[in-house]
Amino acid sequence: MGVEMKDLAVVIVTCDKYSWIWDTWYHYFDWNLDTPIYFINETEDCNLPVKQIKVGPHSVNRWTKMVREGVKQIPEKHLFLMTEDILFNRNIDDLFILLYDVFLKYNAEALRVRSHPSVSYMSDTRDIVQGKYVRKLSQDSKYLVSFAPNIWDKEYLMICLKRNQNPWKCETSRRMNDRGQLVLDYYEPGWYTNAVVKGKLTEEGRKQHEIVLDGH
């Protein structure tokens, strides 16, 4: 039996044109915690054991609008949000429980669980999880908004999504700087693979995708 995480949901954001990777995403989605799992996409049916939210066709330049419309339909107030090209390399259930406790302790706006190095400006908090500091982004840092895997406070996420933009424009905008928000960061090297970059499989993503195809 999974561990109940009150007020938390997992949210996967995707587009119909990436439906070819949905089965691969689910194959690597090693998640055993007791949370609802929502799947936001446009119109195509998803035959996976998730709660699907269809929001209709959207262009990439209105990606934030698509996410916003989907998130409005989710009742939970904390969201572990990621895109369909995040392929888990290992289970992080135990780590996630500890990080979610830190997120709640600080009443943070977001806590990202990175797999790769960051260029953001950060400082250590007093909290150490599995031997590493949870860090805090400075108010003038780049990437206060990031659509890599994050635990989000839903209200803050909706503010970040307020303008109709593509995801990269939203991430690089500086409009969220110096608003007093608390964005936390934890670095867990290699826990996931970015399978798709600019619409194409990465080398590691291709290998993992082919494993699933060969298994079928």
Count the domains in the chain: 1
pLDDT in tens, the chain (216 residues): 344 578 999 999 999 999 999 999 999 999 999 999 999 999 999 999 999 999 999 998 999 999 999 999 999 999 999 999 999 999 999 999 999 999 999 999 999 999 999 988 999 999 999 999 999 999 888 888 999 999 999 999 999 999 999 998 998 888 777 677 899 999 999 999 999 987 889 999 999 999 999 876
Q: Long-range CB contacts (< 8 A, 24+ apart) of 52-58?
A: 57/16, 58/15
User: Has residue 3 been placed in a domain?
Assistant: no
Global model pTM greater than 0.75: yes
Task: Give the structural domain span for 66.
Answer: 8-215
Rounded to an integer, what distance in angstroms lies between the CA atom of residue 134 and that of residue 73? 31
Whether residue 190 lies inside any domain: the answer is yes
Q: Whole-angstrom Cα distance, residue 204 to residue 196?
A: 9
**Domain-located, residue 2:** no
